[in-house]
Structure 1
Amino acid sequence: MTTVVAIQPAMPRPTPVPIAAARPRKQSKPSPGKENLVTGKPVSAAVATVANIRTRRERPCDACRRRKSRCVINEGAVLCVLCEFHKQECTFVQSPLPRKRKVVDDGKKDSPNNQKKSRSVDAEPPPLALPTPTITATAPSPPPPQSSLVHSHLPHLGETLGLQRRQHSRYIGLSSPFDSLLIGLSHFDTRNESTFDLGTLRRVNDHECFIMLPDENTQDYADEAETLRLVEQIVHPHGPVLLEIYFRIVHPNFPIIQKHLFVERYRSGDRTFSPSLIAGMYILALNWWTYDPKTSAYAKPDAQKLEAIAMKSLALAMERPKLSTIQAGLLLLQRPEADSWSLTTQLVAIGQELGLHLDCSSWSIPLWERGLRKRIAWALYMQDKWSSLIHGRPSHIFSANWAVRPISDEDFQEEGDGYETRQEETVEQKEENEKGQILFAQMIGLTAIMAEVMDTFYTQTAIQDFANAGKGSTPLILSRAKNVQLKLRKWHEELPQVVKMHPPPAGRLSSTGYLHLAYFATEITLHRRIVQSLDASTHDPYGFFMCRNAAKTRLISAMDFVNRLKPEHLQAFWYFASKINFTLIGTFGSLLWATAPAQEEADFYKTRLREYRWTLSVSSKRAEFLDYAVQMLDASRAMLHNLAEKPSLAQQISTAGVPPSAPPRSAPLHSHSHSHSHMGPPLRQMSQDDVDMQEGAELRRAPSVGSFHGFGNNDSLDQYGSQMGSRGGSGSLTAEGSLRGDTPRSQ
C-alpha cells in the first residue's frame, strides 16, 4: 500500500517529525536544556526521551509554562503533546516565571479571572493585548469558550511551506548543487521531509524541492518580538480598529492576505506576526483615519515612525524569506508616496526564492496555501509589470519562467485553515468580497495585455527595430499593434458588469476606478508609441490624420473618465500605479500638443490640459496623491514654453496655394498614388484637420469635460487600414484588425 502525503493534517502525529537546524548538534555532551532537540537519529531520540520524562516529573516544559497549560508527555514520546502539535522544540531551560502570590491567594477578589483562566487558555491576555476601554469596545470578540486549544494555536502553520514560525524555505533549482536525482535518493518521511547536515529537505512534488532552514540563525531574529511591540505601541490603542479598516477597504480589492487565518490568530493572542507585515497593514489603514468615526476624534499615529520600523524589519526579514515578507513588501509599495524600483526588484528575487513563479496546484501543502501563493504570485507579477511601465525600465518576470496558473474562484477560499468557527459575513461584505475578487482577477488579465504592449513596443530590441525601419517605422508599429489592440478591446467588451463604472451606492466606496484608469493608461501607452513615430513630411496625410485622431479620442475618453469620478471612487483604495497613470494622461496630452501640425490643434490640447489640471486639483482634496499628477502637468507645461510657434491652418493653406475646401471623409483615396517619400503639401491633412478643429471648437464651448460623450465610430480609420493593405505597404492592416478611433466609454 502506498503512503499518501497528508496536506491537511489536523491531529498530532504518532511519529516525531524531524526539523533539523542548519548544523546538527553533537549528542555526545548534551548541554543543559538542549537534549530535547529532535534530530531524527535513534540514539539522540532516546536520550531526549529519557531527559524529557525525568524533567517532566519536576516541572512543565518552557512552552507549556508560558501558555500556563498542562504539560503532558505520552509514554515513549519525545515531545509533550502541545510541542509536538505545534512542531516546536520542547525545552526545560527557562526558570519558573515570578508570580504575584497575592493574586493566587486572593480567591475572592480575582476568582472570576482565576476561573476563566483555568477553563481556557484562550482567555489569557495576549502578550501584546491592549486592555483599555477603547480597545475593548472595538476589538474583535474573543473565540467562544468551547473552542479548543487546537484551534486557538493554529496547527496548520507547521504544515505550510511559506508560513512556518521557526524556519523558512528556499527553492532548489535544477541547476543548483542539489541535483534532483541525488535528492530522489534521500529518505523522506510522511511530511515529505528529509534531514541532513545542511538542513531539512522539503519535497512538494516529484519535481520541486525546498530546503528548510531555521530562523534563529539569521540576523536579529530574537528582536522580532520587540519590534512588533514597538509597532503596536505606536498605534496603541487603535490597532484592532486599524485592522478592521484594512480588511474593510483594502483587503477586498487587494486580497493578498488570508483574512480569516489572520483574524483568528490575532483574536487568539498569537503575536508571532511579521512586524513589517502588520505595520504595512496599519500604514495603509491610516489613509482612512479621518473618515472612520471610530478614529477621527483621536490623534493620528505617526505613520513615518511606522514606515521606518517596517522598512528596517523588512530588510531583516529578507534574510529569512517567507510569504509574509512578500506580503509586507507589496503592502508597503501600495502607499501613495511609495516609489521604490529597487524594492520591487528585491521582492521579485525573494518570490523566486520562495518558488512563487512555479505552479503549486499539485504541491503537498494545504489547499488554502496554494490559493494564497497564487494570489501573492499574481500580485507580485502586477507589481513588476506596472513598475516597469511607470519607471520605463525592464521587467524582471519573463513568460518563459512564469508557470503560475490563471487565478480562479477556488484560489480565494478561506476554508481548511484549522479554525472551525468563523464570523458570519453580512450581505454587503459578501458582495464587496466577490466584487473585489473579480476586480483583482480582471486587473491581472489587463496587466498581461499591458505587459505585451511593453514587450512589443518598449524593449530595446523593439526600439532598434523601429529605428532600423526608418520612414517605415509607423507601418511597422501599426502592424504589431493589431493583435494587442484586439486583445485590449476584447478585454473591455467582456468586462463583468459588477466592475464597470456604475455610480456606486451612497456611502459605499468603490475601487473600480483603478482598474479603468489602468485600461486607459494601457491604451495611451500603445498610442503614445504611434504618435512618436509620426512625421507629417514623410507620411500619407490621411493616415497621419487618422492616427492622430485615434490618439485624440483616447485622450478625450480618459479625461472624460477622470471628470466623472465621484467621491466614493476618489476616497477608495487605488492601486499603486494609479498616481502615475493619472499623470500619463497629462503627458499624452502634452505630447499631442507638442506634435500638433497647426496652432489651432495645439490650442485645443492646451485648453483640454488646463481643464484636466483643474479637475485633478479639485479631486486631490479627496485623493491627495493626485497632487503629484498636478505637479507633473505643471512641469510639462514649463517644457512646452520652449515650443516654437506653429503655423495656423490659414497660413498652411495660403502656402499651399489651394482653396480651403475639403472633400468628405469617406471620399476614396485611390486617385492619390504618391509615394510616401514624394508627398506634396498635405492637402487632405489640412482639410481634415480643419474639420477636426471645428469639432475641437465645439468641445471647447462645452461646459465641462463630462458633457463630452466621445467620438462616434471612425470607419475612416478602418478604411485607411484597408487601403494601406491594397497599396501593399509593409504595415498593411485589415479592416478587422485596424486601430479604430472609437474607444468604448468606460461603463
Structure 2
Amino acid sequence: MEDHVARRTDQQAHTGPRKYMSKGRRACDLCRSRKSACQIEVAPPCRMCRAHGQQCEFTNRVVRKKRPAPHSVAEEGGNAPVWHPEVRPAQSDTEQLSWPQGLNFLSMPENNLASASPSNMQGHVFGGPGLSHTSNEQLTPGFLSGPENADQFMIDDFMLSIYEGRTLPDVYQGTGSGLNSLDYSPLTSQVCGLTGDQDPYVLRHYQYDEKSEFVFSKLAIRKVQDGPVPVQFLLSKPELSADSRSQTVLRHGPQTNETPSLSEIVPPEVAERLIELFFRFVNPQFPVLSEANRPCPRTSPTHLLAAIYSITQPFTVFDDKLSIELAYNHPSPQSLSNIAWRSLNDEIPEPTIHSLQAALIMLLQPPSNPLLLESPLKWALLGLTVSMAQTLGLYLDPTAWNLPPEEVESRKRLAWLVWAADKWCAFSLGRPSHISRNDWMIIELDIEQNHSLPDAADQSSRFYTTQFSKLTLILDSVLADLYQDFKLAITTAQPILQRLDEWHNSLPSILEIRRGNDGNNTDLPNGSASLHIAYHAVKILVFRALLRPFNQPNNPDSTTTQDHQSHADDWLAAKMRIRNGALAEVTSVLSLISSFRQEHYQAFWAPWSKTSFALVTNLLFLLSATSNRDTRTAAELSSSSSPSPSLSSPSPGMAGRDEYAECRQALERARTIFRLHAKALDMMRLALLRIDAIFWIGWERVLGFK
C-alpha cells in the first residue's frame, strides 16, 4: 500500500495537480464508477471523495483491454490496497441507518404504525462515515437519485468546482459541546424566510444530523425549530461574502475628491454611452431617473454615476462602440461598486434625492456570482434606503405641496420605487417588509398623471410600470395576509388568486409574450417576460401558503376514528385540489419558460428574478417530497374505511403513487428546461444549482426515502 501511494504522491510532486487521470495513474473506485476525473492535489483523498466525506479506495479490479504488446501481470489486475490516513471504527450498513428525526410530521396514532411501514422511511443520515451512492442501483429506472450517465461528468465537475476545499464541518470544529451556538459561530448565518428561495416547509424534510444540521460543503442548513412553523438558518463560510465585503471597504485616509479616480476608470465618452444603456434597459422597468434630469458624467454626484456604470456592465454588448472597446478592458464592477459605497457613505449624514437614487440602483445590482442569491448587505442597504426616504419625506403625498410640478411627480415616482423595492426584496430574501401600507402614502403609480415616467416609442415601458405597480400591490397583500396570520391563509387566498387572474387577464396586448417565432420582434429586451415571471412567482407564493396547513403534523387527514372520518375526507379532498392547482401552476410557468427566446433574456436583470425562477423547482420539490407521505396517508384512510377496495377503480394509494410519478416527471422536465436556458440566462443558474445539488447528494439521503 505504501509503495502504491508513494508512487502517486511522488508523481504529483513533480507534475503538480493533475486535471486528467491517465491509465498509468489509476483512478479511485468512486471516480471510476462515476466516470469522473480523479483529481488528487497532493495526497488522497481526491476532490470527489473529499466532497463526499470518504477516503479514496483502490479495491475494485481494473479490467483492461488486451493489447498487442505483452505486459506484466502486476499491471493487469489484482486488488489495490485501501488508503487509510486515519483509523475509523467500522460500521455496518444497519448502523448507518436511522430514523429521520427531523420529520415529526410522520407522527401517527399507534394503531396505524403497522400500515405506515416505517422501514420504508429509513435512510442514511447525511454526514456519516462514507456517502455511498450504491443505493441508486435499487431505485426504479427513470427515478434515479443521481443524474443520467450522459450528464454525470458535467454535474460532478460543476459541483466540485463549487464545493472544493475544506468541508463545512472542518470550519465548525471547536465551537463547543452540547447545543451548538448560532450567534457565536465562525460561520455566517441567515434565517431562511417563508417566501425566499429556500422554503422552510421543504427544508423540514431534510435528514439532519445530531447537530441539527444538513451539511453540504461551504453551506449548511441549521434547524432550530421544527414545530408548526419550522425555522432554519443558512450557514455559509465567510469567503462566500468576500465580494460584498470588498464593495463596502471604506478608505483609510482622507480623500477630498473621488471624481478623478472615477473618470480614470470610465472616461466621459464611455460614461455617456453607459448612461444611455441605463435608460434603454434599466429605467423602463424601474424608472429611477427622469429624462428631463439626465445625469452628467462631469457634474453629477460620484455615487450616482458609479452605481449607473456598475449596473450597466452586462448591457455593453448592445452598444456598437462599447462592445468592441470594452471587450477586453471593461471597468471593474467591483471597483465601481466600491466607489459608489464610499461616496454614498459620505452622504448618509445629509441624504439627498441623488443619494436615494444611487441607493436604489445599488439595490437593483445583482450579485456578481450568479450562483449566490444575496448577502445580508443587500438587506442592510434596503434599510438604509428606506431611512433616507423617510428623512426626505417621501412617505408623504406631495400632491398639494407648493413645489414645482416636475418635482412633485419625481417625488411620487421615487416614493413608489422605494415601496416596490421593499416588497420585492422582502419577497426574495424571505424577510418582513420594512414598510407598512399604513405608513406609506404613495403605493401605486398612474401613467396618466405622472409625466416623469420614461417615454418610449411603443409605450411598452409605461404600461410595464403601471402593471408592475398593480402586481406589487397584490404581492404586498400576499406578504401581509398569507405570511402573517397562518390560520386565515385558506380563507384569504381565494380573493388574492382572483385578483391575480384579473390582473393577468387585463394585461394590454403590448405586454403579451408572442410565443411564435414570427421574426417581427427585434427590440431587445422584451421586458414583458420578466413581468410574466413575476406574476407566476406571486402565484406560487399563494400556493406555498395554501399547502402549509396540509404539511403540519397530526393533520385531520391522518385521523381514522369514525367521528372524524367525514372531516378527514373533506380535508383530504381539499388538499388534493390545492396540490393539483399547484402542479397546474408549475406546468404553466414551465411552458412559459420553455417558450423564451433571445429577446427575452436581457429583461431578467432585477435581483429578485433569481428567486422567481427558484420558486418553480422548489415547489415541485415540495410536491414530490410530500406526495410520498400522501401515498401512505391515503392508503391508511382507505384501509380504515374500506378493507376490500374495488378492483375496478384505483385505490387512493395508487393515486398517490401516480401523483408522485407525475411530480417527479415534472421536476425532471423543469431541470431539462432550466439547463437549456441557463446557458444564456445566468438568473436561472441558482435555481438549477439548488435542485441539482439534491440529486447530486442523493434523493434518499436528503429526504430519507427512495
TM-score bracket relative to the smaller structure: 0.5 to 0.7
Distance verdict in 2 for CA 1:363–1:639, change over 3 Å: farther
Aligned position for 1:604: 662
Determine helix, strand or coil for the equivalent of 2:288.
Answer: coil
Aligned position for 2:179: none
CA shift, 1:524, in A, is 0.5
Aligned position for 2:129: none
Partners of 2:321 and 2:344 lie apart in 1 by 29
User: Which residue of 588, 592, 608 maps to 1:561?
Assistant: 592
Aligned position for 1:262: 294
Distance verdict in 2 for CA 1:255–1:584, change over 3 Å: same
Determine whether 1:529 maps to 2:545: yes
CA shift, 1:405, in A, is 6.1
Aligned position for 1:443: 468
Per-residue CA deviation, residues 467-498 of structure 1 (Å, 9 max, x unaligned), is xxxxxxxxx53212122222222111211222
Q: Is the 8 A contact 2:512 2:528 kept in 1?
A: yes
Partners of 1:543 and 1:279 lie apart in 2 by 53
User: Which residue of 284, 287, 294 maps to 2:311?
Assistant: 284
Per-residue CA deviation, residues 260-307 of structure 1 (Å, 9 max, x unaligned), is 3215xx3xxx83322111111111211112343211222211111101
Q: How does 1:140-289 map to 2 (within 5 A)?
A: 226-236=257-267, 237-262=269-294, 266=296, 271-289=298-316
Q: Is the 8 A contact 1:521 1:584 kept in 2?
A: yes
User: Which residue of 404, 414, 418 maps to 1:366?
Assistant: 404
- 1:278 counterpart letter in structure 2: L
Partners of 2:704 and 2:254 lie apart in 1 by 62
User: Which residue of 683, 686, 705 maps to 1:628?
Assistant: 686
Distance verdict in 2 for CA 1:276–1:224, change over 3 Å: farther
Determine helix, strand or coil for the equivalent of 2:312.
Answer: helix
- 2:356 counterpart letter in structure 1: I
Aligned position for 1:304: 334
What is the percentage of aligned positions where both structures have the same residue?
28
Aligned position for 2:22: none
Provide the TM-score with structure 1 as the length reference: 0.50
CA shift, 1:224, in A, is 8.6
Distance verdict in 2 for CA 1:640–1:318, change over 3 Å: farther
Q: Is the 8 A contact 2:493 2:546 kept in 1?
A: no
- 1:293 counterpart letter in structure 2: D
User: Which residue of 616, 619, 622 maps to 2:677?
Assistant: 619
CA shift, 1:328, in A, is 0.8
Partners of 1:391 and 1:617 lie apart in 2 by 24
Partners of 2:275 and 2:664 lie apart in 1 by 45
Partners of 1:408 and 1:643 lie apart in 2 by 48
Aligned position for 1:487: 499
Partners of 1:357 and 1:559 lie apart in 2 by 38
Q: Is the 8 A contact 1:530 1:547 kept in 2?
A: yes
Aligned position for 1:511: 527
Q: Is the 8 A contact 1:599 1:645 kept in 2?
A: no
Determine helix, strand or coil for the equivalent of 2:324.
Answer: coil
Partners of 1:365 and 1:489 lie apart in 2 by 39
Moved more, 630-639 or 302-311: 630-639
Distance verdict in 2 for CA 1:610–1:321, change over 3 Å: same
Partners of 1:573 and 1:523 lie apart in 2 by 18
Determine helix, strand or coil for the equivalent of 1:431.
Answer: coil
Q: Is the 8 A contact 1:245 1:285 kept in 2?
A: yes
Partners of 2:448 and 2:548 lie apart in 1 by 44
Partners of 1:644 and 1:565 lie apart in 2 by 36
Partners of 1:224 and 1:387 lie apart in 2 by 33
Distance verdict in 2 for CA 1:639–1:630, change over 3 Å: same
User: Which residue of 409, 413, 424 maps to 2:451?
Assistant: 413
Partners of 2:443 and 2:339 lie apart in 1 by 35
Stretches of structure 2 lacking an aligned partner (at least 5 in a row): 1-249, 368-373, 560-567, 631-655
Determine whether 1:551 maps to 2:551: no
Partners of 1:444 and 1:639 lie apart in 2 by 42
- 1:490 counterpart letter in structure 2: E
CA shift, 1:553, in A, is 0.8
Q: How does 1:676-695 map to 2 (within 5 A)?
A: none
Q: Is the 8 A contact 1:250 1:573 kept in 2?
A: no
- 1:290 counterpart letter in structure 2: V
Partners of 1:394 and 1:629 lie apart in 2 by 23
CA shift, 1:240, in A, is 1.2
Distance verdict in 2 for CA 1:483–1:315, change over 3 Å: same
Aligned position for 1:570: 601
Per-residue CA deviation, residues 240-263 of structure 1 (Å, 9 max, x unaligned), is 111121112222222110223215
CA shift, 1:547, in A, is 1.4
CA shift, 1:575, in A, is 2.6
Aligned position for 1:454: 479
CA shift, 1:546, in A, is 1.1
Q: Is the 8 A contact 2:284 2:461 kept in 1?
A: yes
Instruction: Report which of the two structures shows the higher radius of gyration computed on alpha carbons.
Output: 1
Per-residue CA deviation, residues 307-358 of structure 1 (Å, 9 max, x unaligned), is 1111121222222211111211111121221551111111111111111111
Partners of 1:447 and 1:439 lie apart in 2 by 12
CA shift, 1:640, in A, is 4.3
Higher relative contact order (Cα pairs below 8 Å, separated by 6+ residues): 2
Distance verdict in 2 for CA 1:445–1:414, change over 3 Å: closer
Distance verdict in 2 for CA 1:288–1:224, change over 3 Å: farther
Partners of 2:322 and 2:433 lie apart in 1 by 40
Aligned position for 1:582: 613
Determine helix, strand or coil for the equivalent of 1:430.
Answer: coil
- 1:301 counterpart letter in structure 2: P
CA shift, 1:599, in A, is 3.8
Cα-Cα RMSD: 2.6
Partners of 1:293 and 1:225 lie apart in 2 by 36
CA shift, 1:527, in A, is 0.6
Partners of 1:575 and 1:379 lie apart in 2 by 13
Partners of 1:261 and 1:377 lie apart in 2 by 17
Q: Is the 8 A contact 1:336 1:579 kept in 2?
A: no
Distance verdict in 2 for CA 1:384–1:507, change over 3 Å: closer
Aligned position for 2:418: 380
Determine whether 1:643 maps to 2:703: yes
Per-residue CA deviation, residues 436-476 of structure 1 (Å, 9 max, x unaligned), is 121112111111111111111212xx14xx3xxxxxxxxx5
Partners of 1:639 and 1:518 lie apart in 2 by 31
CA shift, 1:607, in A, is 2.5
Partners of 2:414 and 2:254 lie apart in 1 by 26
